[in-house]
Amino acid sequence: MARAQSKLTVLTRPWHANFTETNHLGAAFMAEPHKFDKVLTRVFTASRVADNPLTAMTKGMGRTSEISSFDWEWELMGSSSRPLIAIEDMETGTTPGKYGVEFQIKLDEDWFKPGDVITPGDKKYLCRVQRESIADGDGFIYYVQLMGDDQAAFLDPDYTAVGVQWSKLFSVYEEGGDQSGSTTYAMPMKLHSNLSTYRKEYSVTGDAANQALVTALMDANGKVYKDYKWLKYAEAEYWIQWYKEKERGLWYGQTNNSITGANGRVARTGPGVQELLADSHIHNYSTLTEKLIREYLLDIFFGRVDMSNRNIVAYTGEYGMLAFHQAMMNASSPFLTTDTKFVQGSGGNLSFGGQFVKYNGPNGITLTLRHNPVYDDREINFKQHSSLLVPMESMRFTFLDFGGKAGMSNIKYVHKKGGYKLGYVSGLQTPYGANKGGLMSNAKDAYTMIVHDQCGIQIDDVTRCGELILSEN
């Protein structure tokens, strides 16, 4: 909602944006010649870098890359082997391979060599490639023979169908043979992304900058601004919004290379985390359980990541944290006893409670839960849960694996060298006070502060990440 509504509210003040005049302050009853002994406490959801979790875990932890261009590319090496796919059924009979007869399969690549032993996944059927493959249209025909001494055995004809995967197990040869098995090589994939250009400004007149306010201003760190000037509030508010907006861009940014700005140039935007994860492990859930989390994480890590390096972070909102806690409580209830962890104190001074924020799963999985205020922000998340009446986004779980090889992070904050800029456009008023004989860029009794940054987020391997998204359908 735009403003808090409460029966305790006795006064509301009008909002304004971008350019501040004394009229704005007067209309809000914040400008007055006398100082009163009052303190206005501001509550901000993203007032410090630490409250912007993605910035904190990347830039704040030194997981950064500096580049000299607006675009960047990186390469990702996959597995050095993979199954080949059957793209045409070459057999019309129902007993392929019976009596030791060769039969044909048509696969999508020319990888297997004579002597390679391949299987359609069922290890009951091992087939040896007997000849060099023959190119045929968009694929390659292999002549294979079913291995084994049972002459009556034959391949299940379902395994000759289109879409069946065939993998190499090993290669075998006769005495004195001159053939050898195949070797496959993985070639790196090239990925491309680009930065987003963020800008923000505020302007203030000389009279407004020096105007005394009715209330003292306290920032989110508890610091009270003793001089009660509008300028202090404007600066604090400006920087809070700046960091919050950049954090939103890192989560929600969408690739754009077509929308133009006022000067006709493209307002290029880089992808945020959610767009980057669109091709990762996405699963819609209705009820969060320990079993769901366990099976979901095993699916992410299985066969990809060594069991000694399966550490992942899940970002979620407050209600996601509650759902996680309840899921762990339900799973652990048979093992919980009355002890000093959940029941503390004695006599009439007992306290009860605790919250699960970490999960040690099977096969080396470690999950750490982190709060993401962006997912709770009602200012941008309008779709509500039908019964809880909180943003559905609050129960979204974004799983990010920050680990990498050789000390490199899988997720990085990327910024352009020299991309961060800050400057003032001054007239008779400057950020340092009244202009008394200095150079001016305009004739206004005002100045404008402009900040500019070019940054983005990079996820090297999205297959190690994913999202659980709540669905009420």
Q: What is the 3-class SS of 388-434, one letter each residue?
A: CCCEHHHHCEEEECCCCHHHCCCEEEEEECCCCEEEEEECCEECCEE
**Residues 328, 462 within the same domain:** yes
Residue 152 lies in a domain: yes
- 213: tokens are 């306010």
Lowest mean pLDDT among 68-77, 113-122, 171-180, 384-393: 68-77
Q: Supply the DSSP symbol for 128.
A: E
- Tell me the pLDDT band of 455, cut-offs 50, 70 and 90: very high
Residue 373 lies in a domain: yes
pLDDT at 10: 44
- Tell me the pLDDT band of 23, cut-offs 50, 70 and 90: low
Q: 460 to each of 49, 77, 114, 410, how far by Cα in Å?
A: 24, 10, 37, 5
- 96: tokens are 């392929």
**Residues 210, 238 within the same domain:** yes
pLDDT at 105: 94
pLDDT at 324: 93
Between 341 and 266, name the one with better pLDDT.
Answer: 266
**Residues 370, 460 within the same domain:** yes
Residue 129 lies in a domain: yes
pLDDT at 42: 38
Closest residue by Cα to residue 44 from 239, 201, 182: 239
- Tell me the pLDDT band of 18, cut-offs 50, 70 and 90: low
Give the amino acid at 227: D
Mean pLDDT of 276-288: 90
pLDDT higher than 90, residue 317: yes
Mean pLDDT of 177-189: 76
User: How far apart are alpha carbons 457 and 226 in whole angstroms?
Assistant: 39
Between 106 and 235, name the one with better pLDDT.
Answer: 106
**Residues 130, 244 within the same domain:** no
pLDDT higher than 60, residue 106: yes
User: How far apart are alpha carbons 467 and 400 in whole angstroms?
Assistant: 9
- 423: tokens are 């400057």
Q: 28 to each of 32, 114, 229, how far by Cα in Å?
A: 10, 84, 14
Residue 470 lies in a domain: yes
**Residues 375, 285 within the same domain:** yes
Where a domain ends, among 171, 202, 227?
171
pLDDT at 462: 87
**Residues 145, 198 within the same domain:** no
pLDDT at 14: 61
Lowest mean pLDDT among 291-300, 340-349, 358-367, 436-445: 340-349
pLDDT higher than 50, residue 306: yes
Chain segment 318-330, per-residue pLDDT in tens: 999 999 999 988 8
User: How far apart are alpha carbons 161 and 217 in whole angstroms?
Assistant: 73
pLDDT at 464: 86
pLDDT higher than 80, residue 144: yes
Mean pLDDT of 133-139: 92
**Strands 127-129 and 466-470, sheet pairing:** unpaired
Structural domain total, the chain: 2
**Residues 462, 315 within the same domain:** yes
pLDDT at 188: 61
Per the CB < 8 A criterion, the answer to whether 132 and 141 are in contact is no
Where a domain ends, among 113, 142, 171?
171
**Residues 291, 166 within the same domain:** no
**Strands 84-88 and 196-205, sheet pairing:** unpaired
Rounded to 5 degrees, what are φ and ψ at 144?
-125, 160
- 172: tokens are 């075998």
Give the amino acid at 157: P
Residue 176 lies in a domain: no
Indicate the average pLDDT of the chain: 81
User: How far apart are alpha carbons 53 and 398 in whole angstroms?
Assistant: 12
**Strands 216-218 and 39-41, sheet pairing:** parallel
User: How far apart are alpha carbons 28 and 268 in whole angstroms?
Assistant: 38
**Residues 72, 109 within the same domain:** no
% of the chain surpassing 70 pLDDT: 78
Lowest mean pLDDT among 41-45, 169-173, 279-283, 349-353: 41-45
pLDDT at 43: 35
pLDDT at 364: 85
pLDDT higher than 80, residue 352: no
Beta carbons within 8 Å of 2's beta carbon, 6+ residues apart: 379
**Residues 215, 275 within the same domain:** yes
User: How far apart are alpha carbons 183 and 284 in whole angstroms?
Assistant: 40
Which residue bears the tokens 């291995």?
A: 147
User: How far apart are alpha carbons 67 and 352 in whole angstroms?
Assistant: 51
Closest residue by Cα to residue 202 from 436, 439, 423: 423
**Residues 290, 381 within the same domain:** yes
Residue 344 lies in a domain: no
- 204: tokens are 């203030």
Residue 383 lies in a domain: yes
Domain that holds residue 153: 84-171
Where a domain ends, among 140, 171, 202?
171
- Tell me the pLDDT band of 215, cut-offs 50, 70 and 90: low
Lowest mean pLDDT among 102-111, 134-143, 168-177: 168-177
Residue 182 lies in a domain: no
**Residues 116, 254 within the same domain:** no
